Amino acid sequence: MTLALKHVVKKYKDFTAVNDLNFTIGKGEIFGLIGQNGAGKTTTFRMILDLQEQTAGSITWDGSPINKINRDWLGYLPEERGIFPQMKVEDQLIFFGKLRGMNRDKLKKEIDFWIQRFELEEKRNEKAETLSKGNQQKVQLIASFIHKPKFLILDEPFSGLDPVNRDLLKNAILLLKERGVTILFSSHQMDNVEELCDHLCILKRGVSLFSGSLLDLKKQYGKTKLTIRTTVPKEEIEKMAGVKDVKVVRDEYVLTLMDESFAKPIFELISNGQYIEKFSLDYLSLDEIFKDKVGGNNE
């Protein structure tokens, strides 16, 4: 089962929010849709969920128009959170599961599994308003997929989570992938996208700057990030051929090269035939590529 967007456009009078968007997500794939605020991510999610109609183009699930499929196949965590503050955690999950047609016995088994998985056992009979922001987020996450959807959209799912709970969520996403769930998510935290996604789409003002595999994106830039630990002064390194930029990060230098072919002569100059503690050539991080692609800060 595949989600496919072909030449999708969304206009609001004279404003084009999404322009000629194309990408495909295969079954059981985790796909990242990234961009600055206002890039068109949430508009795209709403069109996929049939909450808004596209102006042009097609959105299909396994070849069928998205508005014709069983709505219980979809799960959605919106960026704007919303759970019932006066309702207990377990009652809340039962409510959302029943809305999606699950019977109580199957629902109880799923709730027990995910409450334990997200370390909410002691909170299951507490009202949502008494929970921390992170625990409220976990409850809403469970609610978005408690009905076992085939396709799940997560809009900024890591927002408000500390590092421990972020890892719990990442592991949950990977488990859902193993179960065959197709997942589309956005995040401003590029390390999360880089860790979870094989494919992604970068949006800027509604236009796709790139759509494809993360590795193909990195290969466009080549291996131009060189990290070294050496006693050679920064001033000397900056003068070496092929060096565009040098940053000091703790006890290391992080160089940006014009081309990876400059790495070998730089190694020979710095080592001079002697032992060198660290010399590591790699692709740019997704965060660095994102900033270069969209321009400005990643906010």
pLDDT number for residue 273: 78
pLDDT digits (tens, 9 = 90+) for 93-140: 999 999 888 888 889 999 999 999 999 999 999 999 999 988 998 999
pLDDT number for residue 296: 55
pLDDT digits (tens, 9 = 90+) for 157-184: 998 789 999 999 999 999 999 999 999 9
Q: In terms of C-beta distances under 8 Å and separation of at least 24 residues, what long-range contacts does 12-16 make, across chains too?
A: 16/206
Give CATH superfamily name and number for 3-218.
P-loop containing nucleotide triphosphate hydrolases (3.40.50.300)
Which of 41-50, 121-130, 168-177, 289-298 has the weakest average pLDDT?
Answer: 289-298
CATH dotted code for 223-282: 3.30.70.980
Task: With H, G, I as helix, E, B as strand and everything else as coil, classify residue 290.
Answer: helix
- Is the pLDDT at 88 greater than 70? The verdict is yes
- Is the pLDDT at 297 greater than 50? The verdict is no
* Spans of all domains in the chain: 3-218, 223-282
- Is the pLDDT at 152 greater than 50? The verdict is yes
CA distance 32 to 217: 13
**Mean pLDDT of all residues in 259-271:** 93
pLDDT number for residue 80: 80
How many CB atoms sit inside 10 A of residue 250's CB? 6
Measured CA to CA in angstroms, residue 177 lies from 31, 81, 190, 222 at distances of 11, 23, 19, 29
How many CB atoms sit inside 10 A of residue 251's CB? 9
pLDDT digits (tens, 9 = 90+) for 177-215: 999 999 999 999 999 999 999 899 999 999 999 999 999
Average pLDDT, the chain: 92
Element (H, E) at 201: strand 199-204
**Mean pLDDT of all residues in 213-228:** 95
Tokens 């565009």: give the residue: 244
Domains 3-218 and 223-282 share a fold: no
